[in-house]
Structure 1
Amino acid sequence: MSQDGQPKSYTRTVYMCCAMTFGMLGLSYASVPLYDWFCRVTGYAGTTQRAEDTTGTVLDRKIVVRFDANTSNNLAWDFKPFEREITVRIGEKSQTHYVAKNIGSSPSFGTASFNVSPQQAGPYFSKIECFCFTEQELAAGEKVDMPVIFFVDPDIVNDPLLKDLGAITLSYTFFPDEDAEQKVTDRSKVGDESNSKL
Structure 2
Amino acid sequence: MKDAYERRALLLHLGDVLETVNRLMTCNADRQTVREVVAANDSLEGLPLLLQISPSMTTRDFVEHACAAFDSWPKALLELELDREYLARTVREALFAGNAQGWQAYVATLREAVAWFGTGLETIEEIQPGEAAASGDTDEPEPLARDAQMARPHAADIERDDGDRSPASRESVESDPRLYPSWPWKSGG
TM-score (norm 2): 0.28
Please state which structure has a larger fraction of its residues in helix: 2
Higher relative contact order (CA 8 A, sep 6+): 1
User: Larger Cα Rg: Structure 1 or Structure 2?
Assistant: 1
